[in-house]
Each structure stands twice: as C-alpha cells, then as structure tokens.
Amino acid sequence: MAATFAQPHAHGRLFSTSPLPKPTKNLRSPFTVRMSLQETGPSIAVVGVTGAVGQEFLSVLSDRDFPYRSIKMLASKRSAGKQMTFEDRNYTVEELTADSFDGVDIALFSAGGSISKQFGPAAVEKGAIVVDNSSAFRMVDGVPLVIPEVNPQAMRGIKVGMGKGALIANPNCSTIICLMAATPLHQRAKVLRMVVSTYQAASGAGAAAMEELELQTRKVLEGKPPTCNIFSQQSDLDVKVTATCIRVPVMRAHAESVNLQFEKPLDEDTAREILKNAPGVVVIDDRASNHFPTPLEVSNKDDVAVGRIRQDLSQEGNHGLDIFVCGDQIRKGAALNAVQIAEMLL
C-alpha cells in the first residue's frame, strides 16, 4: 500500500460534503458474542482476510454490529484452508477465485492493487458491490472515491439490492486522515494550497511490515544488524497538494503536519471550534499541559485527532494555519472507512 497522496481529480471529488453523525466510540472487543445473530443482512466477502487490514475489517464489522447473512473469508492459495473463529463461528479461509463472488452482496478488498484489478471487475460482474482498499481504482473515472464524512453523495444510488454490482474506492490512508481534518476547514474558508509532510506507520506497508519493524527493533537492541526485506526506503509524492511522505518507526498510526492556505481568513480559535464539531474528529490541543495528538493515542481508535492548531504567521491576514493530525492507519485509514462505506450501501 503505497503512500500516494490526493491526486488532482480526486481532490475536487473529496473536497465537498454533508456531515455524518459523530460515530460512537468503539470498545475494541472485536470477538465478543453478537447481541443477536442476524440472518437477514447482506452476504459479505472479505478479500485478503489474513492481512492487517483484512483482520481489521472483521474487528470493525464486529465493533459496529454490522448485519450480515454470511461472510466468506478469502485469501491467497497460501492461506487457503486456515481455520478462523469470528463471532463464535468457525470459518475456513477459502482461496480467492473468480467464482468466489457468487451470491456475494458486498466484497471488502484489501489484498493489493493487482488482486483488486484481477478480481474486482469479476466480483462486480457477479453483482457484488466492491469496496476496494487498494490504489487500483482510485483514479478511474466513474469509480467513487469516498470518505463518508466528506463526500457521501459521490456514491449516491449505489445500494445493496439494486440488482447490479459496482466499484467504490477507499482513498489512501494518509489522504483520509488528512482530509478528515482539512475538509471542515475547507468548507468554511476554502483551501487553496496544502503543504503536507507525513509520519507514516509501519502498518501502511502491511502486517508483514509490522512484524519486520518489531523484528528489526529486537535485532538492533541485541546489537545485531537488522534484516530488511520490506523496508528499505519508502517514498512518494504528488503535485496537487505538495506532499512529502515519510515512513517512521511507529506501529499503526499515521501523523501528518499540514500547512493550509485559505482563500478566506480563518483564525485559529474558529478553526478549533469547527474541528471540535467535525464528525469523526477529536481536538487534542492543550498547550498548557503540552498535550497534543500522538500516534500512540489514536491507535485502535476510530476518530482522527487534530491539534497544534496555529495561525501560520508566514501568511498574511489569517489566511494560513498549521495543524498536526494523527489517525489509526488501519482503522479510519482503511478498514473503518470501508465499513462505513458498506453501511451506506444498506
């Protein structure tokens, strides 16, 4: 999962909105017994179920009591046959094939771009609505790129039961986390330009990368040279906003330093109030006690945290702000956003 940033045409689509209700806090007890076993919800498939985001799809479905009639656990041939328990039921991981999507209403994909390209259209042909967490369809015209708090209208008319499949793309994790904070400010004062520097967690490169970070850390502490299979250097950039994407040795939450230039003046107190009322956003901005957002504090949380909200005095007339944003890369950056999209399909 590369750290691509908001692309030119994506930008326009993402920046617009009607706010959603504030989500309830999740308690992170994913494998508890459900209140009632629904037999009426959609049939779901999770593609890449053994991966970091795949596992988080299940956690979020459980946390949010997402109704489903059945779940197919799909992965590569290598993982096929593995046994899993989810919400007190046993599952066997099945190998992903073109036939996997017979009777599937919603398919949550997070198995990399090439798998999405190979099997996404096949799933749509079988009538499934695919919510894809890869970059495969993010820049494809006609595929909505959706953050539910930002542009729910982009997927208007796409519903389970409409009799045909569809593709919906989950934006890049850094983009989601950044826009959760930038969009409410944009609605008030119109963002003209953004300078973004990311502090991206290992999780953005998958479960194996998280394991590698832990392993490398152990080796370094033992005074041994670390093995580097996944992380050499990581880099990416884009041009609509100007962005520098940096991987840091942090497990699963991204942070971003965002400099905003607005068309209209916006003072930092107003910005703070706007962000306090923004759905899916919490403000942590306590200078007196030096308490600001950190990756650790947002790990396993749904909300994106914003703080260090400061007037950028290098821009005149209150036309600039600096903010610091942290969000769980696997949760709001990937699985939660996809499941929120799936909820809108019902």
Q: Which residues bind a second copy (CB under 8 A)?
A: 193-195, 197, 199, 214, 217-218, 221, 232-233, 235, 237, 239-242, 244, 246, 248-250, 255, 257, 259, 290-292, 294, 308, 310, 312-315, 320, 322, 324
Looking up tokens 């923004």 gives 278
Q: Which of 11, 186, 245, 254 is catalytic?
A: 254
Nearer to a second copy, 159 or 218 (CB): 218
Taking the complex as a whole, how short is the minimal distance between the CB of residue 37 and a second copy, in angstroms?
A: 34
Taking the complex as a whole, how short is the minimal distance between the CB of residue 106 and a second copy, in angstroms?
A: 36
C-beta of residue 133 within 8 angstroms of C-beta of residue 115: no
Closest CA to 88 of 62, 108, 64, 109: 62
Concerning whether 254 is annotated as a catalytic residue, the answer is yes
Hey, which residues does 145 pair with through a beta bridge?
Answer: 169
Instruction: Give residue 88's identity as a one-letter amino acid code.
Output: D
Taking the complex as a whole, how short is the minimal distance between the CB of residue 23 and a second copy, in angstroms?
A: 26
Nearer to a second copy, 67 or 226 (CB): 226
Concerning whether 173 is annotated as a catalytic residue, the answer is yes
Q: Which of 11, 173, 178, 186 is catalytic?
A: 173
Nearer to a second copy, 149 or 256 (CB): 256
DSSP per-residue string spanning 53-95: HHHHHHHHHHHTT---SEEEEEE-TTTTT-EEEETTEEEE-EE
Taking the complex as a whole, how short is the minimal distance between the CB of residue 5 and a second copy, in angstroms?
A: 11
Nearer to a second copy, 153 or 229 (CB): 229
H helices present in 245-294, as ranges: 268-276
Closest CA to 61 of 106, 97, 30, 94: 30
Q: Which residues are catalytic?
A: 173, 254
